[in-house]
């Protein structure tokens, strides 16, 4: 019986900004004999425009609901895919979304894989985000693909709005994004962390591992934020083995 993988893609991932571009090695190479793969763009990103992206305080919970509404058989939306259960893969902000979905919709989620994700923000995190706020200071290699997909104005505006959106969590107790939901995750969970991730320090993965009961933590010594692209063969193998166990 095939599992269904729901992959998340968001602008924060610093790549081309859609499921198709950010998860190319997974869409191409994960075993199609075992998996049905769905790549989803949250509202305001990739192919889910319109609407334009915005960042109210509950935007991660909104994305989680949108994702589940797309997938589940009981959804009232017109384009629901009618999967009664599925597994979720989430990168970066998509991982946060997946954590929330797995906690709130425990009856739907088989397994969970997240990488480059965090359940809270610190003052040091805020410094990292603000340091890359001005996209005009990015290298052309990093900036050009985003501008080609979104246009320079929408990309710059949305990126700055994301920085403001993620920084607003620092005003909450303990910088909370979704700390309180982690104990509610009961599905088998794999946390992958690149030890050289410049955007999400290692202590975030350790926190997830500590507070998600029974979770596994896999460290990739040379991995950075885009470890699933840079080391796609290794990443795919790790994920397949976990999902097929």
Q: Which residues are catalytic?
A: 92, 197, 225
Ranges assigned E (strand) in 75-212 = 86-91, 109-115, 189-194
Both tokens assigned to 234 = 């290794």
Q: How far is CA 210 from CA 62, 186, 187, 191, 215, in A?
A: 26, 13, 15, 11, 8
Cα–Cα distance between 238 and 222 in angstroms, integer? 15
**Backbone φ/ψ region at 242: left (φ over 0), alpha (ψ -120 to 50), beta:** alpha
Q: Among candidates 154, 125, 134, which has minimal Cα distance to 54?
A: 154
Q: How far is CA 231 from CA 34, 41, 112, 141, 225, in A?
A: 21, 23, 20, 19, 11
Omega of the bond leading into 20 within 30 degrees of 0 (cis): no
For 217, the 3-state DSSP assignment is: strand
Q: Beta partners for 6?
A: 38, 88
Both tokens assigned to 148 = 């080609």
CB-CB neighbours of 188 under 10 Å:
18
């Amino acid at each position: 019986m095939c599992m269904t993988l729901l992959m998340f893609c968001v602008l924060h991932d610093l790549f081309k900004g859609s499921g198709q571009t950010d998860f190319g090695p997974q869409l191409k190479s994960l075993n199609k004999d075992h998996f049905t793969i769905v790549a989803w763009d949250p509202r305001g990103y990739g192919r889910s425009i319109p609407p334009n992206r915005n960042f109210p305080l509950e935007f991660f919970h909104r994305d989680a609901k949108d994702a589940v509404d797309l997938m589940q058989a009981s959804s009232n939306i017109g384009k629901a895919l009618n999967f009664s259960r599925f597994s979720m893969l989430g990168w970066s902000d998509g991982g946060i979304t997946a954590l929330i979905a797995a906690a709130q919709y425990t009856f739907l989620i088989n397994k969970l894989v997240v990488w480059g994700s965090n359940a809270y923000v610190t003052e040091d995190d805020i410094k990292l985000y603000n340091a890359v706020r001005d996209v005009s200071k990015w290298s052309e290699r990093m900036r050009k693909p985003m501008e080609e997909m979104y246009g320079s104005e929408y990309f710059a505006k949305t990126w700055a709005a994301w920085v403001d959106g993620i920084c607003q969590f620092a005003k909450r107790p303990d910088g909370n994004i979704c700390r309180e939901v982690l104990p509610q995750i009961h599905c088998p969970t794999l946390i992958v962390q690149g030890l050289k991730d410049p955007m999400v320090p290692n202590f975030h993965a350790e926190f997830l591992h500590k507070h998600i009961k029974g979770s596994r933590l896999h460290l990739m010594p040379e991995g950075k934020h885009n470890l699933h692209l840079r080391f796609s063969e290794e990443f795919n193998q790790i994920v397949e083995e976990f999902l097929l166990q």
